């Protein structure tokens, strides 16, 4: 049983079959489930799968990810692509090597969902244009019987004062052979041409059946438009442009676009969907479909559950770049196979890297090779790099276990000889109020959840000045109290978007940093009020911590030794 068959088997157990009733997800995710004799094959498949490689996934995490709606992962991916496009181009991309293969993010072929979305946009634009298609109506001059509007001045002139036998008339005719309508047809032809080309290409890694179906649907709909287009004269004229390149656009295609834009600005074209058509053409170009060949990656990074964490990491990286850019602090950023960005603080250039590898021979680590998700460094005022902070994004699952993840971060702090590390989670620390209201959650369940948070963060380690009975009264009073109504004393103790642990005077007597901090931070891509608030606070915290470390470097630059 391979990884995909394992995923399918779990889905089948949860949804049921004709001969098997569905198993509740709550029961399915329990650890004992795999130890039932009837599921020994499933247990062996999971134990030997790549999901448990390096103890990366527990069984309950795996079940949670299998059962999570695919559209939720797609939403996070689309948010990441949106952040990329905010910088003016979809041509910037990551090159990522994961356990399941090499990926380009974004990639037009591996991410055919984007092509599908864009094609649907075109079909919608086409439908709205055809409801009120624009046409010119030039007047055609005729002499003879009355047809149309009589031009009496011209008619009297040719009659030489006699009673007119022939009349000069003008008759308006509809002319659909306009630049904008030619472009409308050309777009359908481009989609037909490119989708058919991809379907016929012999890729090194074959297209999935789902990808082939997506392309086939686009091809059929585009072909239908060309076959059924009601104005033959426009279709025939458009064929004169079929051999011209749309990316980069030939002079002939550019001319059609310029004429259309001019006619829109002059008010000649009234239908607003022609404006959308021009914007759509640029979106289609930005997909980069034309450059695809058999060497192009065909895998979608979302097809593998293990890669959800990778997309989560990319999203965090792009959010931080956006954070810097919005504050006009971003100096530069690069993607490809060495993603990083730089910004300036106190005339010091700070580098924030994603997925970089460090070896003892490089000098930044001393004990072993490490590859944190993110690392901030500077070498300003120095002849060597100083690590300002190390960050790791952890398991994108509601059932993640945070108990052991701090060990890896403590190893980073030691190996990189730095004083700050942070673990970033999508669902930890828990919110006091509902982050996303759980389905059918009762007040009793909410109270139990909040009681757990209180016991962990308040009644186990905090409030030493209170006796046990006093703590019980505080808990009773606090339970079910909305966050905004909590006393400040308890707000400071209950983690909501961050949890900070500091070890003072950690023994580095001859270093400029003598304390160490390990933080748990929350960043969830959901567009809820709580998630957006936690994300913004986390980004503020990451930035402020990095520049605080840079301030230490600035003030102690004469004392820091490599």
Which residue did the predictor score with more confidence, 316 or 173? Answer: 316
Is residue 346 predicted with pLDDT exceeding 80? yes
pTM of the predicted protein model: 0.60
Q: In this structure, what DSSP letter does residue 336 have? A: B
Q: Structural domains in the chain?
A: 1-67 (no CATH), 111-134+179-296 (no CATH), 139-172 (no CATH), 307-429+497-555 (3.40.91)
The average pLDDT across 222-251 equals 93
Q: State whether residue 559 is helix, strand or coil.
A: coil
How do the residues of the chain divide into helix, strand and coil, expressed in percent and rounded to 5?
Answer: 50, 15, 35
**Which residue matches tokens 């289609």?**
284
C-alpha distances (whole Å) from 234 to each of 230, 239, 542 are: 9, 9, 58
Residue 189's pLDDT is 96
348-354 and 101-105 strand pairing: unpaired
pLDDT of 295 higher than 60: no
Closest CA to 397 of 309, 310, 314, 313: 309
State the pLDDT at residue 339. Answer: 87
Q: Is the Cα torsion angle 306, 311, 317, 319 positive or negative in sign?
A: negative
Evaluate if residue 304 carries a pLDDT over 60.
Answer: no
What pLDDT sits at residue 553? 81
**pLDDT of res. 512:** 44
Backbone angles phi, psi at 441, to 5 degrees: -70, 130
Among residues 5, 53, 46, which one has the least CA distance to residue 29? 46
Cα 403 from Cα 114, distance rounded (Å): 38
Amino acid 182: pLDDT = 96
DSSP secondary structure of 395-451: --STT---TTHHHHHHHHHHHTT-SEEEEEESS-SPPSS-SS--TT--HHHHHHHHH
Q: How would residue 436 be classed by pLDDT, with cut points 50, 70 and 90?
A: very low
Reduced to 3 states (helix: H, G, I; strand: E, B; else coil), residue 212 is helix
Which pLDDT belongs to residue 558?
A: 55
Instruction: Report the 3 state secondary structure along 370-399.
Output: ECCCEEEEECCCCCCCEEEEEEEECCCCCC
> What percent of the chain has a predicted confidence (pLDDT) above 90?
24
Range in 222-226, 373-377, 491-495, 550-554 the model is least confident about: 491-495
pLDDT for 192 equals 94
Measured from the Cβ of residue 180, the count of other Cβ atoms closer than 10 Å reads: 25
Mean model confidence pLDDT for the chain: 79
Tell me: pLDDT of 172 over 90.
no
Q: Is residue 372 a contact partner of residue 389, using CB atoms and an 8 Å limit?
A: no
> How many C-beta atoms surround the C-beta of residue 160 within 10 A?
7
- pLDDT class for 90, splitting at 50, 70, 90? very low
Q: Given a cut of 80, is residue 356 above it in pLDDT?
A: yes
Name the band, by pLDDT with cuts 50, 70 and 90, for residue 546. very high
pLDDT in tens, 463-518: 777 777 777 777 777 776 777 777 777 776 776 666 666 666 555 544 444 578 88
């Amino acid at each position: 049983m391979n990884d995909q068959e394992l995923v399918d088997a779990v889905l089948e157990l949860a949804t049921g079959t004709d001969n098997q009733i569905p198993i509740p997800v709550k029961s399915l995710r329990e650890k004992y489930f795999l130890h039932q004799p009837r599921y020994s094959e499933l247990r062996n498949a999971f134990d030997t799968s790549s999901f448990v490689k390096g103890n990366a996934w527990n069984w309950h995490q795996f079940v949670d990810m299998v059962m999570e709606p695919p559209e939720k992962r797609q939403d996070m991916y689309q948010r990441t692509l949106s952040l990329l496009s905010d910088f003016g181009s979809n041509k910037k991309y990551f090159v990522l090597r994961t356990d399941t293969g090499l990926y380009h993010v974004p990639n037009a072929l591996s991410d055919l969902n984007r092509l599908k979305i864009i094609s649907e946009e075109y079909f919608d634009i086409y439908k709205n244009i055809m409801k009120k298609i624009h046409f010119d109506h030039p007047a055609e001059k005729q002499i003879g019987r009355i047809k149309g509007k009589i031009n009496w001045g011209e008619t009297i002139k040719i009659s030489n004062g006699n009673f007119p036998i022939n009349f000069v008339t003008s008759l308006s005719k509809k002319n659909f052979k306009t630049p904008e309508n030619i472009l409308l047809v050309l777009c359908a032809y481009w989609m037909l041409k490119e989708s058919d080309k991809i379907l016929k290409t012999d890729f090194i890694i074959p297209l999935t059946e789902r990808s082939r179906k997506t392309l086939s649907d686009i091809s059929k709909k585009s072909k239908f438009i060309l076959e059924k287009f009601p104005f033959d004269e426009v279709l025939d004229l458009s064929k004169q442009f079929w051999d011209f390149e749309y990316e980069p656009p030939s002079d002939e295609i550019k001319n059609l676009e310029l004429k259309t834009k001019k006619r829109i600005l002059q008010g000649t074209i009234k239908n607003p969907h022609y404006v959308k058509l021009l914007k759509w053409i640029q979106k289609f170009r930005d997909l980069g479909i034309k450059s695809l060949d058999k060497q192009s990656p065909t895998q979608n990074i979302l097809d593998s559950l293990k890669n959800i964490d990778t997309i989560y990491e990319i999203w965090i990286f792009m959010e931080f770049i956006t954070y810097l850019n919005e504050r006009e602090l971003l100096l530069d950023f690069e993607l490809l196979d060495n993603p990083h960005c730089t910004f300036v603080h106190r005339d010091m250039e700070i580098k924030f890297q994603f997925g970089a590898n460090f070896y003892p021979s490089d000098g930044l680590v001393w004990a072993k090779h490490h590859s944190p998700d993110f690392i901030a460094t500077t070498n300003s005022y120095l002849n060597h790099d100083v690590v300002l902070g190390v960050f790791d994004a952890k398991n994108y699952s509601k059932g993640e276990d945070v108990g052991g993840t701090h060990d890896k971060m403590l190893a980073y702090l030691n190996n990189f000889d730095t004083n700050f590390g942070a673990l970033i989670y999508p669902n930890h620390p828990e919110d006091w109020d509902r982050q996303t209201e759980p389905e059918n959650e009762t007040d009793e369940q909410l109270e139990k959840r909040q009681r757990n948070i209180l016991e962990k963060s308040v009644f186990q380690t905090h409030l030493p000045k209170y006796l046990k009975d006093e703590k019980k009264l505080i808990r009773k009073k606090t339970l079910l109290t909305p966050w905004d109504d909590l006393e400040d004393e308890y707000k400071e103790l209950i983690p909501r978007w961050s949890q900070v642990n500091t070890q003072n005077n950690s023994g580095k007597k001859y270093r400029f940093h003598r304390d160490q901090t390990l933080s748990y931070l929350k960043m969830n891509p959901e567009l809820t009020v709580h998630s957006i608030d936690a994300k913004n606070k986390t980004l503020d915290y990451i930035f402020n911590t990095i520049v605080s470390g840079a301030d230490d470097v600035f003030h102690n630059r004469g004392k820091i030794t490599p």
